[in-house]
Structure 1
Amino acid sequence: MGKATYIQPDLETWMKSFHFETDIKIRYCETDMSGHVNNVSYLVYFEQGRVDYFDRLHIGDEVLHDKADFMVVTADITCHYHAELFFRETPTLLVRVARLGNSSMDIEYCLIVKDKNKVAATGSGTIVLVDKQTKRSAPIPPQVRERIIQFEKMEMTI
């Protein structure tokens, strides 16, 4: 299993760098015959967390709306499984933008079960804004960039 190199300098410090969290509801259909949450469901939770994050920053309609001039494309995503999740557990997903590029951003995730003090999974991925007409990367709109920088308390030179 590869190491989660995005967790820096250590898990506890890294987890404190998140400013956003959203509750996840595990559906029965997301479990396997052993009662575990199926591995693919974690990526669905990450996607839901991205949407909730964008909505919290009031940029969901700007970057996710079907009428927008661009679309959000997942360039890559990684999930590291740390502990099992089961139906009826109540996980919380931490989400943060760790890096802002011109047309892309790296997003990190930490799926925890607070009442059991359990880290179930961590992840990292890159999304890219793509112009719907040209199918090429598109710059992140200035107002979207600014909201993320302010929310994440990033020090950026633009």
Structure 2
Amino acid sequence: MRATYITDLSTWASEFTFSVPVSVRFSETDMYGHLNNTVAFTYFEFARIEFLKHAGLMNDWLDPVGSTIPVVADLQCDYLKQVFFDEALAVHVKVAAIGNSSLDIHYMVKNDKDDIVITGRGSVVQIGRETGKGVPWTDKEKLLFVN
């Protein structure tokens, strides 16, 4: 495993409790039927939003008079196995670390054989809508990310 954010794959994988299903669409593949390398980031986004909705944060962030919004500060992806058209995948999401106003979010994509095919991580920062500066998580918000 070459992903530096994973020290022990078995332990890391066992810590995920949230996932969403995804089916690889034809339009997401190249002429050989392989998943296009940019699509994994779209899967990460879909799963991240579903995870944050599940945690109860998206309603506040989508409120037009709300004071905070989330931004992705960085995102990386590691491809472990080939993925093909019409494969059924599960995109798993977890919070690996909580910062003052940021979250380190990890992703694990498994196929229907339970093989890990893609891993990833990224930082999401909660910022003030008006200031563009980081807004600290409240204690209540921090509890939303603890399994």
| TM-score where L is the length of structure 1 | 0.86
| C-alpha separation in 2, matches of 1:74 and 1:148 | 17
2:134 is the counterpart of 1:142:
no
Count of residues paired in the alignment = 147
Determine the structure 2 residue equivalent to 1:36.
34
Is the CA contact (8 Å cut-off) linking 1:64 and 1:72 kept in structure 2? no
Question: Tell me, what secondary structure is at the counterpart of 2:23?
Answer: coil
Identify the structure with the greater strand proportion: 2
| TM-score where L is the length of structure 2 | 0.92
| C-alpha separation in 1, matches of 2:89 and 2:65 | 33
Determine the structure 1 residue equivalent to 2:56.
58
2:4 is the counterpart of 1:5:
yes
Cα shift at 1:117: 2.9
Determine the structure 2 residue equivalent to 1:16.
14
Question: Tell me, what secondary structure is at the counterpart of 1:75?
Answer: strand
| C-alpha separation in 2, matches of 1:98 and 1:38 | 27
From 75, 89, 92, give the equivalent of 2:73.
75
| C-alpha separation in 2, matches of 1:92 and 1:65 | 29
Moved over 6 A (4+): none
Q: Which moved more, 1:51-60 or 1:104-113?
A: 51-60
Determine the structure 2 residue equivalent to 1:133.
130
Question: Tell me, what secondary structure is at the counterpart of 2:134?
Answer: coil
| C-alpha separation in 2, matches of 1:77 and 1:50 | 12
Any idea what the Cα deviations from partners look like across 1:104-142, whole Å, max 9, x if unmatched? 0100000001x3232110001111111111111111243
Q: What is the percent sequence identity of the aligned residues?
A: 34
Any idea what the Cα deviations from partners look like across 1:16-70, whole Å, max 9, x if unmatched? 0111111112222111111111011000000111111112222221234444212
Cα shift at 1:143: 2.6
Cα shift at 1:90: 0.3
2:80 is the counterpart of 1:118:
no
| C-alpha separation in 1, matches of 2:59 and 2:33 | 36
**Mind listing any 5+ residue stretches in structure 2 that lack a counterpart?**
none
Partner letter of residue 128 of structure 2?
Answer: D
Question: Tell me, what secondary structure is at the counterpart of 1:88?
Answer: coil
